[in-house]
Homo-oligomer: A and B are copies of this chain.
Amino acid sequence: MSNEPTPSGLASGETLERAEALLEVTYELLELEDLELLRQVLNKERPADLADLMRRLDEGIRETVFGLLEESLAAEALAESDTHTTLSIVEDMAPQRLSDILDEMEPDDAADVLVDLDREDAEKVLDLMETEGAQEVQDLMAHEEDTGGGIMTSDLISVREEMTVAGAIDRLRQEAEDQDISHLYVTDAEGRPVGVVPVHRLATARPQTPMSRLMSRDLVTVTQETDQEEIARIFSRYNLLAVPVVDMEGRLVGQITVDDVVDVIQEEATEDIYKMAGTSDQEMENPSVFGVARARLPWLLICLLGSFLSGAVIHVFDATLEKVIILASFLPAITATGGNSGLQSSTVTVRGLVTGHVSSGLVLRTIMREIGTAAVIGVACGAAANAAAWLWFKHPLVGICVGVAMFLAISVAVVLGVLVPLLFDRLGIDPAVASGPFITTTNDILGIFIYLGLATVLMGRFM
């Protein structure tokens, strides 16, 4: 449970509406130039709401507004901000103010801010920070951002097995002033975690009981190198509130708490969704027109190249098309339906690999199911297309070509949609990125080839 001040005591309901309202009030007070009232309003808000406000404000005035916040609140708001917003706020901030704010932050959050600055600027700020904190922050900055080391915090309480409840409560009094501690870690002589004691057991146990009697020995640990996606999977699988992080020698060096993992899960989901649509979350880091275009163009150009291959296949059949031009009217139906059914099965497969619903042990079952699905969908769409072609042009041969080609195109698309992501996954290539263009292009080419090839053969025989 967080300890933040709140304007209303009891807030509920629409977070987004609150955000809109705060934005309006801020602009109004800025217009009235009543900075004193704005300062009072803002310093009563929650850090997360302030972070959101910063993101919504025009970049030019973020610094002014942020300058009105008290240090500790500024620190918490900054910890909640995304990379792009954070950078726009701190880039031109005086090093002394920034170091004061970072002193107030948890070391992992402070490391996240500094890691995005120029090396030189970051060192200047680190020099101004309190020595002990600066060292912790510097250690954390050494880790990759999306690993256990990158998202862990060094804030935790660890005790030895022999320590008594009375001793542990003393430790708690000294160290837990302004943070909420729900558990203590128990370590052995080498500093390796051997158990965990939920604090409620301290409250109810006798003062002389040693930790070894109270602790639960069931520990899931991760290392500094563990990928954050795997960490999210562990939290969600085992319903954890925190996991200890150990170094190469198995010694306790930090912990990851579930609130950070919630953010990781949201982030990873967004990243996956962006990748599947052929762009990347770089868009959010650099939301300028050119930043967005840079994220999207590679995929578009690869697909454009692929579509020229489809065009080449059409060119091969120019003679057939010229003879029966109405065949051209069904090209969009073949490519669109093939493309869409490929998108469906590849999306389900890629997502299944992330959530663990598809894995090597289940490959055969997954493939068999998709083949069955392809048959059902192919027959349904093929029949619909056949009927449409027949009703429209009263041309039975075109109807047969469209129907059969659609069935085959869908079957190929659906099966490729399962196989290609699984193959890429096994090769160690991210299926979310790689499978999209590959499946779309292959699909279009094969679908068109089947359709026009079939038409050429049938027309040659019967017309």
Contacts and interface: CB of A to CB of B under 8 A. Distances in A.
Nearest to A46: B238
Interface stretch (A35-43, A94-102, A117-125, A304-312): A304-312
B331 A331 contact: yes
| Copies of this chain in its oligomeric complex | 2
B199 A203 contact: yes
Nearest to A353: B16
A340 B321 CA distance: 26
A340 B304 CA distance: 10
Contacts of A223: 12-13
A200 B246 CA distance: 25
A239 B10 CA distance: 16
Contacts of A105: none
Contacts of A411: none
A458 interface: no
A335 B336 CA distance: 9
Given A11-B220, A265-B262, A357-B284, A273 B1 contact: no
B265 A266 contact: yes
Interface of A: 1-6, 9-16, 19-20, 23, 46, 48-49, 52, 55-56, 80, 169, 172-173, 176, 180-183, 196, 198-200, 202-204, 216-223, 226, 230, 233-242, 246, 258-259, 261-263, 265-266, 269-270, 272-274, 276-279, 283-284, 287-290, 292-293, 296-297, 299-301, 303-304, 306-308, 310-312, 314-315, 318, 321-322, 325-326, 328-333, 335-337, 339-341, 343-344, 347-348, 351, 355-357, 359-362, 369-370, 372-373, 375-377, 380-381, 384-385, 388, 392, 440, 444, 448
Contact of A381 (B16, B278, B300): B300
A348 B277 contact: yes
A372 B289 contact: yes
A290 B143 CA distance: 48
A328 B326 contact: no
A448 B335 CA distance: 14
Contact of A269 (B13, B183, B265, B359): B265
A239 B48 contact: yes
A452 B43 CA distance: 60
A458 to B, nearest CB: 19
Nearest to A309: B332
Contacts of A199: 182, 199-200, 203
> Which of A1, A226, A246, A283: most chain B Cβ within 10 A?
A1
A336 B304 contact: yes
